[in-house]
Amino acid sequence: MRILHVLHSHGYGGAESHVIILMRGQIAQGHEVMFAGPLDSWLGKACQEHGIPATHLRMTGLYDIGSHLRLLRLVKTWGADIIHGHLVRASYYAGWAGRLSGTVAISTAHTTNALKHMDRCDHIIADSKANETNLLAYGHPQDKLSVIYTGVPDAPRHDCQAIRQELGIPEDTFAVVHAGRFIRDKGQDVLVRALAEVSDPKVRLYLIGADDTDYAAQVHQLPQTPGRVTYLGFRSDVQRILQGFDLYVQPSRREGLPLAVSEAFVARLPVIATRVGGMPEVVLHEQTGLVVTPDTPTEMGQAITRLAADRAFARQLAENGRRFYDQHLTEHTMVNRALDVYRGHLSALALAH
């Protein structure tokens, strides 16, 4: 198959990582893949690094006629079998290009507020049952929806102690980590407040992510005991360094299904996550992790204290999480399920003609 992925993005986050993982997986299975979107971006650079053909597509707003025409020409001249749009704007462009060219258009909703402008696509993939529920409530028909959890690659095992030394984590520390963009939806402020509820001074928090936003500045200004909160900045090696920590926490106020939770499972970390979006579908309370109410620092602090005190229970949660990953969250599972969706619609299109 010839598969054209479309995403409007200049930054870095779960959707961008998802697209790279999906494209690389499809290429590994022998399919021809191309990306269309802004190339002055993290995703543009990632395509270059991985040798994935890419075409610059600005998509300035929803009604950039030049970008619509450019995408339509690309679909026709390259001979795409599938156009796969990610998030709202790219799905809108993919849907129109599909309609006008007679090409199968697929959309992926990566967030719980990705609802509009996807109806011209032939099929919508939700990254969680929570997203599927939102799409149904918005009026999208059940037969146009599928749930495919976002998969992540496995990672080789690394020396935990070497990583801790590299990051300056004291030997007797119970190291809590979170990775994500510094935006209010991710809830780093809640996590910092939760740490203040933890009386054990050996429990320390490490935050991964570029902390150059206005929200990050607000998080920095929260009351913090010196030495207990460390800001690690943007890291391109999150999967590797996660193995140096003891606990992963996802304190989000709003979420779909973050890749970081799956990466924590890969790293064999116990996980605490808030009861939002698709997270309770994979962070099964008392089985693969602990689930807490969003925006409740006290409850989150109690969960952290519990796992810091009961290391055997924490290890059991981590092993269960790893098994859940192996069964449901691998990149191979995600890639194969997406390809099945493509093939189903291509077969239906062939029968219609």
DSSP annotation string for 185-216: GG-HHHHHHHHHT---TTEEEEEES---SHHH
* Residue pair 321/250 in contact by the 8 Å Cβ criterion: no
In 67-215, where do the E strands start and end? 82-86, 104-109, 123-126, 145-147, 174-179, 203-208
* Residue pair 85/93 in contact by the 8 Å Cβ criterion: yes
- The DSSP code for 279 is H
What is the three-class DSSP state of 51?
coil
User: What count of other Cβ atoms lies within 10 Å of the Cβ of residue 115?
Assistant: 18
Nearest to residue 240, comparing CAs of 203, 261, 207, 266? 266
Q: What is the pTM of this model?
A: 0.91
Angle at 240 between CA 217 and CA 256, to 5 degrees: 60
* Residue pair 42/14 in contact by the 8 Å Cβ criterion: no
pLDDT tens track, the chain, 353 positions? 999 999 999 888 889 999 999 999 999 999 999 999 999 999 999 999 999 999 999 999 999 999 999 999 999 999 999 999 999 999 999 999 999 999 999 999 987 777 788 889 999 999 999 999 999 999 999 999 999 999 999 999 999 999 999 999 998 999 999 999 999 999 999 999 999 999 999 999 999 999 999 999 999 999 988 889 999 999 989 999 999 999 999 999 998 899 999 999 999 999 999 999 999 999 999 999 999 999 999 999 999 999 999 999 999 999 999 999 999 999 999 999 999 999 999 998 888 76
What is the three-class DSSP state of 114?
coil
Q: 3-state DSSP helix/strand/coil percent for the chain, to nearest 5?
A: 45, 20, 35
- The structure tokens 């077969």 sit at 347
